[in-house]
Amino acid sequence: MAETILTTNTPPSATIVHINIKQECPVQFVTVYNDRAELTRLLRYHFDNEGTYDLVLQGLSPCIDLTSFRVSGGTGKACTILEVSYQKRYEDPSTSLSDTTPLDQLQTQLEIVQADIDEHAQELDRLKKQRTWLDGRASKLMNQEGPLSTSDLETMEQFLNFYHKMLSKIDKETTQEQRQLKELNSRCDALTAKINEHGSQAMINRRIEQREVSITIHVASSKTDVALEVSYLISNCSWSASYDIRVDSGEGRQPKTQLTYYGIIINKSQENWSDTQFSLSTATPSLGGSAPKLATLKVNNRQYHGVPQRFMSSAAQSDIFDLPLGIDSGIKIEYKPVKKTSDTQGIISKTHLKTVRHETHITNTKTHEVAVYIYDQLPLSSDEKIKVNLIQPDLRRKDNNPHNTITLKDTNNLEWKCILPSRGECRLLFEYSVEWPYDKQVEFQEEL
Task: Judge contact between 352 and 436, C-beta under 8 A.
Answer: yes
Task: Judge contact between 237 and 36, C-beta under 8 A.
Answer: yes
Per-residue confidence (pLDDT) for residue 308, from 0 to 100: 47
Per-residue confidence (pLDDT) for residue 324, from 0 to 100: 64
- Stretch among 126-135, 138-147, 362-371, 379-388 having the lowest mean pLDDT: 138-147
CATH number of the domain at 102-142+152-206, out of 1.10.287, 1.10.510, 1.10.20, 1.10.10?
1.10.287
Cα angle value 40/43/47 (rounded, 5°)? 165
Per-residue confidence (pLDDT) for residue 123, from 0 to 100: 87
Mean pLDDT of 371-382: 89
* pLDDT, tens digit (0-9, with 9 covering 90-100), for 123-132: 888 888 888 8
Those residues with Cβ within 8 angstroms of residue 315's Cβ, 6 or more apart along the chain or in another chain? 321
Per-residue confidence (pLDDT) for residue 309, from 0 to 100: 42
Q: Provide the mean pLDDT of the chain.
A: 81
pLDDT bucket at 345, cuts 50 / 70 / 90: confident
Name the residue ranges covered by the structural domains of the chain.
12-92+208-289, 102-142+152-206, 296-303+328-447
Percent with pLDDT over 90 in the chain = 14
* pLDDT, tens digit (0-9, with 9 covering 90-100), for 266-317: 898 888 888 888 899 888 776 555 677 777 777 777 665 544 444 445 667 7
Per-residue confidence (pLDDT) for residue 31, from 0 to 100: 93
Per-residue confidence (pLDDT) for residue 101, from 0 to 100: 65
Those residues with Cβ within 8 angstroms of residue 3's Cβ, 6 or more apart along the chain or in another chain? none
Per-residue confidence (pLDDT) for residue 432, from 0 to 100: 93
pLDDT bucket at 40, cuts 50 / 70 / 90: very high
Percent with pLDDT over 70 in the chain = 82
Those residues with Cβ within 8 angstroms of residue 32's Cβ, 6 or more apart along the chain or in another chain? 237, 238, 239, 263, 265, 278, 279, 280, 281
Per-residue confidence (pLDDT) for residue 5, from 0 to 100: 40
Mean pLDDT of 178-200: 83
Those residues with Cβ within 8 angstroms of residue 49's Cβ, 6 or more apart along the chain or in another chain? 219, 222
Q: Which of 407, 426, 431 is nearest to 358 (CA)?
A: 431
* pLDDT, tens digit (0-9, with 9 covering 90-100), for 380-433: 888 888 899 999 888 877 766 777 888 888 888 999 999 999 999 999 999 999
Residue 260 phi/psi, 5-degree rounding, is: -120, 125
* pLDDT, tens digit (0-9, with 9 covering 90-100), for 147-168: 666 676 777 777 778 888 888 8
Q: Which of 168, 167, 50, 184 is nearest to 111 (CA)?
A: 184
